[in-house]
Structure 1
Amino acid sequence: MGHLRLPRCRRRLACGGRERSCPPRRRGVGRRGLVAVRLPVGLLAVAAALAGSGAATATGEPPVRAAAYVVRSGVDGAILAERSADARRPIASITKLMTVLVALDHLTLDDVVQVPRGATAVGEATIDLRSGERISVRDLVEGALIPSANDAATALALAAANGSMARFVSWMNLKAQELGLTDTHFVNPHGLDMPGHVSSARDVVTLLRAALANPVIRRYASTGSAELSGGRRVETTDDLLTRFPPFVAGKTGHTDGAGWSEVAEARSDKVTIYASVLGEPTRESRNNDLQSLLAWGLIQYEDVRAIDATRVYATAHAPYGRPSVPLVAARSVVRLQRVGVPLVERVVAPTDVRLPVRKGQVLGRVDVYERGRLVAHTPLVAARSLRRPGLLGRTQWYATRTLHHVASFFSL
């Protein structure tokens, strides 16, 4: 976990705050004696390299050969890196994420369907379905997602839409609209190149997130191999599944028009990253570039103690010559914070307190902001108790103060 670094004095922030070691500027002193102070929260960025992450560093994204790509944070939804994110391009078998997502709205895994002749005629990647064969939806889903079989995807679509390809494709496009995929239009359920069958690097990341919210798709998009009916054994097309430990799930695609493409999710500790690469020149460059982007994304966040319960945020003056009361946070707040994005805290605390004060009494608050958005807050409480002096004690204090003032007057 990163710890807060106290920056040097005098550097000004755009928000108007000062560095922590400077004397704070007081604002908004009212009748209750409350003072609001804005200060920056320092971040210590620790960029721990992940094995096999290429040239990725916490500050600079790795070089990528893809025609288009996106890296999106699962922590806060931010786009961390992109190239031609909204350019419409063929996406090949990444299409099958939508195919399975829509088919499962109409079929269950245990349904058994008859393979239509149209499914066996698609070509390219196949699990060798036979026309008239009866097969479970589960096997077709595995066939579409693990070896990326076009006949399995087509059989799913026709089974879900009672033989109407046009109806199923319309469902795919309706689902795309529901998900906000503004650069996406489907023409078929398998992803082979056809005019008008396009999506974008940004949209396929959104599609992946929606698809992986379905536990069936999540399971099979992360499966390396499976045994299907008829003695069929299928292997994944996803090389990162076995070579990149943070890899969670993904979907590959390749055609002449789409190039080598993939969209995937990776997770390390509490950080989840989604990334897509479209139009890579080779299978190996797709693997290397996607892995580098995922690894780079995973080191863009670290645990930061945004609020520290061991720190004194302010002190309040106590009457009758009693010691000042330190104000501390009621609790520590640790949050995932993007490296290089500053936090600014606002401390609201009294300048004076009335006695008695009990330990743990709420006397103020601390708020922490990221780019103007409140991300953490907690009360400030008294770190110790102070009793109010009795009548004799107060009388002695007033007498002592009066004598001091008189002595000061005659010493002039």
Structure 2
Amino acid sequence: MRTGRSVRTATAVAAAALLAPPLLLAGPAYAAPADGKNPPKAPVPPAKMSQTGGDRMGVAGVQVQPKAGAPELPGPAELTGRSWIISDAESGKVLASKNPHWQLAPASTLKMLFADTVMPKFPKDQKYKVKPADLADMGDGSSLVGIKENLTYTVHDLWLGVFLRSGNDAVHTLAAMNGGVDATVTQMQQRAKELNATDTHVVTPDGYDAPGQVSSAYDLSLFARAGLQNADFREYCSTATAQFPGEEAKDGKRKTFGIQNTNRLLVGDRDIKPYPGIAGVKNGSTTNAGSTFTGVAQRGDRKLLVTVMNPEKKEHNEAYREAAKLLDWGFAAADKVEPVGRLVGPRSEEDAAGGDAKNGHKNSQAALEAGDGSGGGAWTALGITGGALVVLGAVALGVHRRWPLPDLVRGRRNRK
């Protein structure tokens, strides 16, 4: 999706603002244009960022804690994303990160939050006839799957349109079923709050560029992790190709046309191959966001989540290339690094576990004492940053629920 400014209504912006967490942006998130004499200055992350998931999640720059024999993390010339994070999808352990709480434009990766919010509300076989008003107010240049007014679609069709073609027309149709765009934006912000996604401010349901709309690599990983608990979400985000309903033929039968997923690590492209073990989730691209991508992949029994936001290197498919490099490193390094943070659970889960999302624990000393010494009960990660010793609060990982996922790579990915 390649877009410009949003045409969303002031009502939606105001509704989102009422529920949005305070923004932590310190200065512009993007480079200022050159004046003809001086090159544009590269953007820098804010001095203060959220510490949700652990102290080091709020520290600028690359965070990694290798053990002896750990493979080297690719360098800055290879990982140019302004923000990225790689984590274990089931345990939530963060293996490495760079500015994971930097609030940046999310593009269509925000559709993961839309899906996690709206998908449970409608059975996949429910049918809906599209009204002309449902397709109004979409931003110029929006990505579309090709939905036509006055035609009927199943909810299953619409979600294929959201995930495969990143169709804003499919998003707006589902939002209309859900009470309208404004109501859906409000619900998405509420869902983000419940997921402890404190970097996210929702203005549009489809990720279309809008003033003040931001998320983070950390929050996008939370959205993916939550969504992947839903079997339908897993189905749609792992589908490579499908047939989509078209217009009715003269004989009264409904025509179909083929659609293909725009996730290049899933389907490949002229200059990139599908990533082995990839199983979703969502990509995006807008004027403000650059390229964004969140992916989940499996190798053996290990499932990793990766999010890359806005690579500085503006080469074709660069976000996918950098995500693939992080996945390669993560699978090789997963048992050879100390986690530098964790993906927290929803507020209800953290409260039930006696956890503190900000620091990853309620009482670090108690968490340490609760450990059994095997590494499964508690952990601590140490790192030197700016000459100061940064100690990540010990996390009683056994207290926090693992989020088991089924075998992801065996799912069918071609739908008819």
TM-score for both structures, normalised by structure 1? 0.59
Do structure 1's residue 156 and structure 2's residue 174 form an aligned pair? yes
Query: 1: distance between equivalents of 2:213 and 2:257?
Result: 30
**Counterpart contact for 1:265–1:272, Cα < 8 Å:** yes
Q: Which structure ranks higher in relative contact order (CA pairs < 8 Å, sequence separation ≥ 6)?
A: 2
Deviation at 1:369, TM superposition (A): 2.4
Q: Distance in 2 between matches of 1:45 and 1:64?
A: 23
Return the match for 1:237 from 256, 262, 271.
262
Please tell me whether the aligned partners of residues 116 and 223 of structure 2 are also in contact (alpha carbons under 8 angstroms).
Answer: no
Cα distance between partner residues in 1 of 2:305 and 2:260: 23
1:213 is matched with which residue? 229
> Aligned pair count?
261
Task: Give SS of 2:263's match.
Answer: coil
> 5+ unaligned residues in a row in structure 2: which ranges?
1-65, 247-255, 268-273, 340-371, 380-395, 397-416
Counterparts of 2:239 and 2:316, CA distance in 1: 19
Question: Alpha-carbon deviation of 1:82?
Answer: 1.4
What is the aligned counterpart of 1:85 among 100, 104, 107? 100
**Of 309, 324, 332, which aligns to 1:299?**
332
What is the match of residue 270 of structure 1?
Answer: 301
1:373 equivalent among 374, 378, 381? 378
2:252 matched to 1:228?
Answer: no
Q: Amino acid of the residue matched to residue 111 of structure 1?
A: Q
Q: Give how far 1:75 is off.
A: 5.5
- 2:157 corresponds to which residue? 139
1:286 paired to 2:319: yes
Where is the strand percentage greater, Structure 1 or Structure 2?
1
Q: 1:86–1:201: 8 Å Cα contact kept in structure 2?
A: yes
Does the 8 Å CA contact 2:131/2:150 hold for their aligned counterparts?
A: yes
Distance in 2 (CA, whole Å) between partners of 1:158 and 1:185 is 21
Bigger radius of gyration, 1 or 2? 1
Match of 2:278 among 227, 247, 271: 247
Q: 1:159 to 1:60 in 2, by over 3 A?
A: same
Distance 1:284 1:76, change over 3 A: same
1:80 deviates by 1.6
Q: Secondary structure at the match of 2:305?
A: strand
Partner of 1:100: 115
Q: What is the identity percentage for the equivalent residue pairs of Structure 1 and Structure 2? A: 27
Q: Distance in 2 between matches of 1:44 and 1:182?
A: 31
**1:46 to partner: Cα distance:** 6.9
Determine if contact 1:249/1:264 at 8 Å carries over to the other structure: yes
Taking structure 2 as the reference length, the TM-score comes to 0.59
| RMSD over equivalenced CA pairs, Å | 2.4
Q: Which amino acid aligns with 1:239?
A: R
Query: Where does the alignment leave 5 or more consecutive residues of structure 1 unmatched?
Result: 1-42, 48-57, 302-337, 343-366, 376-412
Match of residue 290 from structure 2: 259
CA distance in 2 between counterparts of 1:265 and 1:82 reads 16
* Aligned counterpart in structure 2 of residue 67 of structure 1, from 65, 78, 82: 82
Q: Which amino acid aligns with 1:83?
A: K
Mapping 1:298-337, distance limit 5 Å: 298-301=331-334
Partners of 1:44 and 1:94 in 2: CA distance: 33
